[in-house]
A and B are shown apart, each in its own frame.
Chain A
Amino acid sequence: MNWLACELLLIAICTALVCVVPGVFLVLRGVSLMSDAMSHALLLGIVGMFLWVRSLHSPLLLVGAGIAGFAVVVLTEWSMARCKLPKDAAIGLFFPFFFSCAVMLITCYARDTHLDTDIVLLGDLVFAPFSRCVLGGIDYGPTALIVGLCMTLMTIVTFMLLRVRLITVLFDPVFASVTQARPAMVYYGMMLLTSMVAVSVFSLVGSVVVVALMIVPAASAWCTARSVDQMLVHAASYSIVAAVCGYACAAIGDYSIVGSIAIWTGILFLCVVIGAPRTGLIGKMWTHGHQWLAISSRYVKQHIRENSGICDAVTIRVTYGWSLWWTWCVLWYIHCKTK
């Protein structure tokens, strides 16, 4: 593994980590699809700013992108409040409009520049190590890595500062507004942060996989964690595992790193949903099975008591309408319990 590949892996991990805090907030708040809306709406800000400053390397492009991402949130919330639209329709109404306007502007006014809709949709993580951060003649590493580290730090600091408020706003909005925790302020502040994170990440991984990095680890962590802090830690570990495994698979099979990371977040999600200790499908089936067995064994004991201690499997089966298999299970359960 050479140095370039190492850097690429670090960038991938960092990109995944940036998305953890906003992702957990979005998932707990129930507005996960807002990340989809934001990451698509960004393009309009970029194109608009590009047409204004006429340069692809200006930091103003990112400012424009952030503004556009935030604007789509404000518009969505506003239309939900004023026009009484349901949440899903309000989200689905505005972001395709923003995205289409951006594509139209590109094809009309910027077709001969290097502003391509494919890059927005698919991202170009592979070329990220080649854009270096050089200050005063010293090479500090890839720009994407440094930006990613700074953004990760920023999200963590924001979370630490707002921790109590965030938890109040997420789990008891009425109490939050009574105690003047300002739920609206916190919500829009977090949305601004999400928009900034989406801006810093989407040029690397494309606007759809941003959703995978934000939502999927947080959704998996929801199954395993028992507090918000735990959820953050779990989500961060899922995203690191997904980034490493995704990168390794993509390197072996020589296909899209970004898509591979998205698939790995999905694989981890599936594993967690099926195999999580308490909330997973297997765990739930185990608990339910135990409860049913306990109840059924009580029935059988009742039956034995009523028939003055005489019991045979066929009568029990017929009395309660159980299948042969279930009768066997219940009798075995009683047998094990009484031994």
Chain B
Amino acid sequence: MCDYTLYAALIPALGILIIGLMAGFVGTFAFLKKQTMLGDTIAHAALPGICGAFLFTNNGSSMVLIFGGFIAGLCAVALVTILQHYTHIGSDAILGTILSVFFGLGLVLLTHIQKLPIAAQAVLNKFLFGSAATLLYEDLLLLTIVGCIVCVTLFCIWHPLVIVLFDQRYAHTIGMPVWVILTLFYILLVLVIVAGLYAVGVVLMSSLLVAPAVAARALTRSVQHMAFCAAAWGACAGMLGMLWSLSAAHLPTGPAIVIVATGGTLLVLAAGLARRSVA
């Protein structure tokens, strides 16, 4: 009995650990690019992709759904970039537009699916708020692969990415392929967000990117330290939140993780304020 419980808790725990790590790493760069709300947009925009994949394949396996979400997220990022480049509309208005219109499309598909006589539609509901407790061995395998891809790619483009984030004109001047680096970064962002939908769901995924990055920014003074600090805090908050949600019946995982992550971050910010007012 004890072994079984341990095993049942181990897989979600490892899954959340990987998601928290990835979100912390990539969130740092999104924070430095001042585009954390792009994460919110991608997360919301993944909904029509998930529903569409479900409708298209009639298959509730999470691999298929995640792939659909990935495609929709990429479409959203591409649209946002195109609109930012070719129109004079403010980028926040563009993000809000893409976010809400894609989500509306998702709602229409969702209501369509709810009328179909298929039992597997319950799977879709877990993407709204996330349910880490239902992570399976296959999901863990997928998450590990995604995590490896994200980390390796990020380490490969680390220095160019930092230069592009802090001084895009300089990067242009010294002949860096800025476009390629940013595209790679956006793909990583979409990958991480879509993978994180398992844990915290569509509505709250952006928080897992922002909160660790904000805390890490307040504590550290270099990009490397910030990234590792954010990854560590993301993983810790994920584990703590999951333990909290497992401690009582029916507690949703996503909100628990978000409360732990943001609560810790607010403590860090408050400590910083207190120190400044004393000094």
Residues of A within 8 A of B (CB): 27, 30-33, 35-36, 40, 79, 82-83, 85-89, 91-94, 96-97, 99-101, 103-104, 107-108, 111, 117, 121-122, 206, 208-209, 211-212, 214-216, 218-219, 222-223, 255-256, 258-263, 265-266, 269, 273, 279, 281, 284
- Interface residue stretch chosen among B59-67, B92-100, B133-141, B187-195: B92-100
**Do A92 and B101 form a contact, CB below 8 Å, given A30-B92, A83-B269, A211-B96?**
no
Residues 95-132 (chain B) with a chain A CB within 8 angstroms: 95-97, 99-101, 103-108, 110-112, 128-129
Q: Are A104 and B251 in contact (CB under 8 A)?
A: yes
Q: Among B86, B251, B255, which residue has the most Cβ atoms of chain A within 10 A? A: B255
The DSSP consensus for interface residues of chain A is helix
Residues 195-227 (chain B) with a chain A CB within 8 angstroms: 203-204, 206-207, 209-211, 213-214, 218
Measured CA separation A98–B265 after assembly (Å): 14
Q: Are B269 and A92 in contact (CB under 8 A)?
A: no
B144 at the interface (CB under 8 A from A): no
B89 at the interface (CB under 8 A from A): yes
Q: Are A212 and B100 in contact (CB under 8 A)?
A: yes
Contacts of B95 in A (CB 8 A): 32-33
Measured CA separation A111–B249 after assembly (Å): 12
Contacts of B36 in A (CB 8 A): 88-89, 92
Q: Are A256 and B44 in contact (CB under 8 A)?
A: no
Contacts of A223 in B (CB 8 A): 87-89
Q: Are A101 and B89 in contact (CB under 8 A)?
A: no
Contacts of B159 in A (CB 8 A): none
**Do A108 and B251 form a contact, CB below 8 Å, given A93-B265, A256-B110, A281-B86?**
yes
Residues of B within 8 A of A (CB): 31, 34-37, 39-40, 44, 83, 86-90, 92-97, 99-101, 103-108, 110-112, 128-129, 203-204, 206-207, 209-211, 213-214, 218, 248, 250-252, 254-256, 258-259, 262-263, 265-266, 269, 272-273
Contacts of B251 in A (CB 8 A): 104, 107-108
**Do A111 and B250 form a contact, CB below 8 Å, given A33-B95, A273-B83?**
yes
Question: Can you sample 27 A-B contacts with CB below 8 Å?
Answer: A27-B93, A32-B90, A32-B93, A33-B92, A88-B36, A91-B37, A96-B204, A96-B207, A99-B255, A101-B255, A101-B259, A103-B252, A108-B248, A111-B250, A122-B110, A208-B104, A209-B107, A214-B96, A215-B100, A218-B93, A222-B89, A256-B107, A260-B104, A261-B104, A262-B107, A266-B97, A279-B88
